[in-house]
Amino acid sequence: MKKRVIAGAIAAILVIGVVVFALVYQPPSKTDEIYKSAMQDFKDGNYQNAYYLFSKITFFSNLKPIAIYHSGECAKMLGDDKSELKQYQLLFNNYPKHKLSLRTRYLAGQKLVKSNPQLAKKYFEFIIHNAPDSDYAIASEYYIGVIMKNKYKDAKIFPTSKKDDIQNYFRHYLKQAPSGVLALDVINNWLDLSAEISKDDYLLMANSCYLFGDYEMAQQLLQKVDLTEGWALDVKNSFALKDYSRAKYLTENGLEKRSQYVSEDEIIDAIDIYNQLSESKNKSVDRLLSLSHGKGRDYLLSLKCGNTPQAYKGKCYSDLYVKYPQGRFAADALSNIFFAKIKSKDYAAAKKIGMDHLRKYPNSASAPMVMFWLGKIAEKTNNYEEYTGFYRSLIDKYPDTYYAYRAYLRLSRVQTPLITSYIEPKPVVYPYKYTHNNIIVKLVDLEDYDIVNELAGDDEFIKSWALYKKGDYSHAMLTARDAMEKVQDKPDKYDLRWRLVYPVIYYDLIQKYADETGNNAPLMLSIAREESYFDPLAQSIAGASGLMQLMPSTANEINNKFKLGMLIPSSLFNPEQNIKIGNYYYEFLRNNLQGHDISSVAAYNGGIGSIQRWKTSLYYNDTDEFVEQIPYSETKNYVKKVFRTYWNYIRIYNGNN
């Protein structure tokens, strides 16, 4: 009898479960439809209906916790504090392991700072304890400081120890997140604390104000800072305020008397500003060298060597290397000593120096260059096994570099710099293998990009993909580029992340006008990428505009010469017209430089007059020697960047390399 009762009860429970499931079950396609409609309502400002639709997302869907979060956002936009807080608490209480749990606990704490500071403090302490390395933990420390400040501000006695604790919270925030969204709030609360603030702390505040572009406030704070430790920041801030005489004076005085008190990076920034403000870079470097005796001197020497005529570069870089063998410019100095030996045809010494460079600096920026030229030395002795070994190792270890491209040309015996004009564009897709249940992929399909960034964590490639899908191509590419730079062992060319680094954008237009002018379409694509990162509204300080960064005067000249019928400068911000005039400009350069693409790319950056002058004044045996000796470092690096990009487009989208 008892068994029958139990069985009946189980059966009843099962029936009830089936009925409940039937009532609440929602097909995934229906869930997605509701969610998308809710997102659209939210974007349109129809927050009440969006709130209702988000609430209809079933608990069986992995979208439910995100829908709860968005419900909180809707309530916030409607000014319903109670409902907003309730949604946040619902999420982190019911989905404690969800990635949005940390964010909603933080937002709940923010909401409660004034109305229920003790509960807010509890939430913030939870975040600090459970996610100490997160941005939310840093911000939580600030809010705990604010809660403590509010607690004692109206008290008759404000214990000094409590003020010290509050300052520690504020100090930690500015050290960890000097450009964080709360930095200015930190400063305002700190200054309002009526505590004794140290000169070092005023420097922290000044730095944050500078980073936020509040240069006037930064200047006021810098007046309370010890000049010994604040001079380099003062240089940057004075430059931003256009007080150029002060910026130059502080740089000279700082290098002469106070270089040991600031970082090398800060000194380099100050030197760069000084050079930018000087009519002659050579004279400004010499002036600063006469004053400098400590940090920054090796950077000045490297600048001097870079501007030294080729015949004297070897000696200049040798002196730099001997004086600073452990400095950050040592690898570059040794690579230049290596190349000077090649120029003097002392191949035995060059090989010895090159091998020494690869042993000492295997992961340096100059390592691919050294490996390539070691291959060329081996070619001169017809040592097939050795030079192919260098070239293949270079392509394997540094596959995406300019020198990998040059090594491929040597191995393939290609005489021109252009491998092919053919690429097969492929779409930018999710950068990893995934299943259809991947929540990030689903959110992008549903155009919920902000949550993608939250769920992606530290994965910059996923963030890049979300930016791309959002149509922000420039930031997407830059994000992926910086992420790939951090990958030490580069993936093979089929890895989907490469498409984010080198997306094919505006290619139909580029190909159309490249064909019309006889240009190489992938090369034009590469110029557009390097010039503007595919931002059609890009504009340089000098006034270069649009995708292919054309100066209005140059564009006007080409427009008239080829009778293109455009309105300059407004047409430069139109992608099609910019690409058209950019192609005609490149055709003009190429026709006046005997069809040489290396020279034409250099002229695109440095001007045709400079290239024609260098081609007669420089001594070189081949294209590689010409590029290495281009006197303007900006133009030399530009040529390498454009052809590096060209190489990557070919290897990623051609499939034959």
The full DSSP string for 117-179 is HHHHHHHHHHHHHH-TTSHHHHHHHHHHHHHHHHHHTTSS---HHHHHHHHHHHHHHHHH-TT
* Together in a domain, 175 and 41: yes
**Tokens read off for 339:** 């190349």
Backbone angles phi, psi at 539, to 5 degrees: -150, 130
pLDDT band for position 609 (50/70/90)?
Answer: very high
What digits encode the pLDDT tens for the residues 425-460?
999 999 987 665 688 888 988 889 889 888 988 899
**Mean pLDDT for all residues in the chain:** 93
Q: Is the pLDDT of residue 529 over 90?
A: yes
What integer is the mean pLDDT of 464-475?
93
* Together in a domain, 57 and 186: yes
Cα–Cα nearest to 429, from 497, 517, 366, 370: 497
* Together in a domain, 203 and 101: yes
Residue 493 lies in a domain: yes
Question: Which range among 13-27, 128-142, 415-429 shows the weakest confidence by mean pLDDT?
Answer: 13-27
Tell me which residue has tokens 């104000």: 209
* Together in a domain, 605 and 459: no
User: How large a percentage of the chain has pLDDT more than 70?
Assistant: 95
What digits encode the pLDDT tens for the residues 286-330?
999 999 989 999 999 999 999 898 889 999 999 999 999 999 999
Q: Which of 168, 188, 220 is the last residue of a domain?
A: 220
Residue 387 lies in a domain: no
pLDDT band for position 542 (50/70/90)?
Answer: confident
User: Is residue 424 annotated as part of the catalytic site, yes or no?
Assistant: no
Give the whole-angstrom CA distance, residue 246 versus residue 237: 10
CA pseudo-torsion sign 23, 28, 30, 33: positive
> For the chain, how many structural domains are there in total?
3
CATH number of domain containing 563: 1.10.530.10
* Together in a domain, 176 and 44: yes
Angstrom distances, CA of residue 66 to CA of 101, 243, 290, 467: 10, 50, 62, 19
* Together in a domain, 494 and 579: no
**Tokens read off for 299:** 């950077």
Q: What is the pTM of this model?
A: 0.88
From the candidates 141, 531, 587, 628, give the one annotated as an active-site residue. Answer: 531
What digits encode the pLDDT tens for the residues 205-259?
999 999 999 999 999 999 999 999 999 999 999 999 999 999 999 999 999 999 9
Contact predicate 489/528, CB 8 Å: no
CATH number of domain containing 110: 1.25.40.10
Residues of the domain holding 464: 439-501
* Together in a domain, 577 and 639: yes
What digits encode the pLDDT tens for the residues 593-604?
999 999 999 999
Position 212 scores a pLDDT of 96
Burial (CB count <10 Å: 0-12, 13-18, 19+), residue 578: buried
* Together in a domain, 40 and 142: yes
* Together in a domain, 622 and 519: yes
* Together in a domain, 540 and 479: no
Q: Is the pLDDT of residue 375 over 60?
A: yes
